[in-house]
Amino acid sequence: MRILYVDDDPALARLATRVLARSDFEVIHAPSIETGLELFAAEEFEAVVLDHYFENQTGLNFLEAIAERGKMTPVLYVTGSSDADVAIRALKGGAADYVVKTATDDFFPLLTSALEQALENARLRREKEEADRQLILAKERAELLLAEMNHRIANSLSLVSAMIRMQMQIADSEETKTALNETQNRITAIAGVHRSLYTSENVGEVQLDVYLGPLLAELQGTNAAARGRLCRPICVGSPPPPTRQWHLVSS
């Protein structure tokens, strides 16, 4: 993993190169902010280790410059032991983490651990962004398929209704025409209910009164008409005709 090490202390940079190489880090040293920005723009790095103090500027200037370029490379900020305010400003400026520079042997183990954690966080962030992108694409595909399905269902219902209307025109008996007309009315009711469903803003929920109201009204009307046509004198002692009942089953 290639690391850009921006620090104007060449001795510390050489030591960092040797120590970090033991953890499979390839260190590219930049002795100034300007050189670091040039390397950062020209090459690809997994992370940046950035010192704070330079001759005529600070590492905060580096953070400001790379923030305008839109790269998501994690930056590990190195500060002095008494620079808590600087560390806070660095984190607000876009640094992923900071390490306090000390003269003890703990500095490089802390730097290595912080680098590994920053790289892991960057990997998780990239995976999350990719998962979010795939989720958006899947949602768009689902919406497209739903629109196509609804369009085809509406076309099929219209085609069936037109075929029944043509059949009514060539039917010989009034009874057949009446039956076909009732069938067409039921298809029209179903088409209207379907239209109200797929034009709804929320396809995840269905208002049962809007969905079942027109459908039950149409079924009740055709059922009443059918009972009227079937009414005839009943012989004494004969059982009454069965009454048709409609039951709603909630799923």
pLDDT in tens, 127-155: 999 999 999 999 899 888 888 888 888 88
Strand ranges across the sheet with 2-6: 26-30, 2-6, 47-51, 75-79, 97-100
Letter for the amino acid at 160?
V
The answer for residues whose C-beta is within 8 angstroms of residue 79's C-beta and 6 or more apart is 52, 86, 87, 90, 98, 99, 100, 101
The answer for residues whose C-beta is within 8 angstroms of residue 82's C-beta and 6 or more apart is none
Give yes or no for residue 158 having a pLDDT over 70.
yes
For residues 2-15, give the mean pLDDT.
Answer: 90
Measured between alpha carbons, how far is 190 from 15 in angstroms, rounded to an integer?
78
Instruction: Give Cα 112 to chain centroid, integer Å.
Output: 35
Q: How many CB atoms lie within 10 A of CB 167?
A: 14
Q: Are 52 and 59 in contact (CB under 8 A)?
A: yes
What pLDDT sits at residue 189? 76
Q: How many CB atoms lie within 10 A of CB 8?
A: 15
Instruction: Give Cα 127 to chain centroid, integer Å.
Output: 13
Half-sphere exposure at residue 115, Cβ-oriented, CA atoms within 13 angstroms: 27
Give yes or no for residue 35 having a pLDDT over 90.
yes
Expressed in percent and rounded to 5, the helix, strand and coil fractions of the chain are 60, 10, 30
Measured between alpha carbons, how far is 88 from 77 in angstroms, rounded to an integer?
10
Q: Are 98 and 91 in contact (CB under 8 A)?
A: yes
Percent of the chain scoring above 70 in pLDDT: 80
Residue 222: name the closest of 190, 251, 194, 181 by CA.
181
What pLDDT sits at residue 204? 67
**In which band, very low, low, confident or very high, does the pLDDT at 225 lie, cut at 50, 70 and 90?**
low
Percent of the chain scoring above 90 in pLDDT: 23
**In which band, very low, low, confident or very high, does the pLDDT at 71 lie, cut at 50, 70 and 90?**
confident
Backbone φ and ψ of 2, nearest 5°: -90, 130
For residues 85-114, give the mean pLDDT.
Answer: 86
For residues 221-235, give the mean pLDDT.
Answer: 55
Measured between alpha carbons, how far is 118 from 115 in angstroms, rounded to an integer?
5
Quick check: pTM over 0.75?
A: no
> Out of 43-52, 124-133, 157-166, 213-222, which region has the weakest mean confidence (pLDDT)?
213-222
